[in-house]
Structure 1
């Protein structure tokens, strides 16, 4: 995984529309501009503890985390059952869903992969909670 630190001083204000977009039947287009939204402030509540990681592999594809996805990972959050987490294993890092019951394990979101059991004496450390997944639909991103 590639690791990138969030620049807390960065700001990216984009137009933000009050009207929601329908994912079902179309609704009439309306121009209700609500103002601007700062994506850094909106998506990164703890900038000093947040990193950006680029995903490789497909073990989390059924959670919409695919090859090339960018993950915002907050290292200050306490991981809970069901969170998608970044874990350090003996041989590197992985992203999986944390399952605490019925038995602790790291759960892949692709049936082609086996869960990773979390035993008391296993050398596994949960180091961060994934808060946001960023997907680019146009590859490569193209300028207008």
Structure 2
């Protein structure tokens, strides 16, 4: 994963369609627009604690993070069960799913095709960043 700093500049407002996009026949009313949104305010809630990372690999596809995705990471958030998190395990960063199992925190791959994740009892693990659930942008 590569780190990129977040630079917050003036707002850039983009149009938002009122209707969700369908995979079938389009409705004639689908071209109506809602109020525009500023992506920096939508994706960045705490700029000093936020940065962008490039994801690599397929271990998080079940949580919507794909090879080449850009993810917005906010270190100020507290993980909840089921959140995708960026972790450091023995000095190596990766994306995992934060789980509470039997009242204890654990980590899992975000791809059901991968085996169970077990870093071992002596692993040095730091859960230091949280990926916002609404912030995966494929490139």
Interval of TM-score (by shorter of Structure 1 and Structure 2): 0.7 to 0.9
Kept in 2: contact 1:59–1:113 (CA 8 A): no
Q: Using the alignment, how far apart are the partners of 1:134 and 1:118 within structure 2?
A: 32
Which residue of 1 is the match for residue 116 of structure 2?
114
Distance of 2:47 and 2:22 partners within structure 1:
31
In 2, the alpha carbon distance for the partners of 1:65 and 1:45 equals 20
Q: Structure 1: which 5+ runs fail to align?
A: 137-144
Hey, what does 1:2 align to over in structure 2?
2
The separation in 2 between residues aligned to 1:13 and 1:30, in whole angstroms, is 20
- In the TM superposition, what is the alpha-carbon distance from 1:8 to its structure 2 partner? 2.0
- Cα deviation, 1:28-70, whole Å, max 9, x if unaligned, reads 3343223321111111111111110001111112222111011
Question: Which residue in the other structure is 2:128 paired with?
Answer: 127
Change (3 A) 1:24 1:78: farther
Equivalent runs, 1:86-105 vs 2, <5 Å: 86-102=86-102, 103-105=104-106
Q: Post-superposition shift, 1:104? A: 3.1
Distance 2:95 2:85 in 1: 6
Alignment of 1:12-51 (within 5 A): 12-23=12-23, 26-51=26-51
Runs of 5+ consecutive residues of structure 2 not aligned to the other structure = none
Aligned residues: 135
Q: CA deviation at 1:114?
A: 3.2
Q: What residue is the counterpart of 1:142 in the other structure? A: none
Is the contact between residue 8 and residue 48 of structure 1 (CA under 8 Å) also seen in structure 2? Answer: no
CA contact (8 A) 1:105 1:118 kept: no
Q: Residues 95-130 of structure 1, C-alpha deviation per residue, up to 9 Å, x if partnerless?
A: 0101121353210022234313575x5310001110
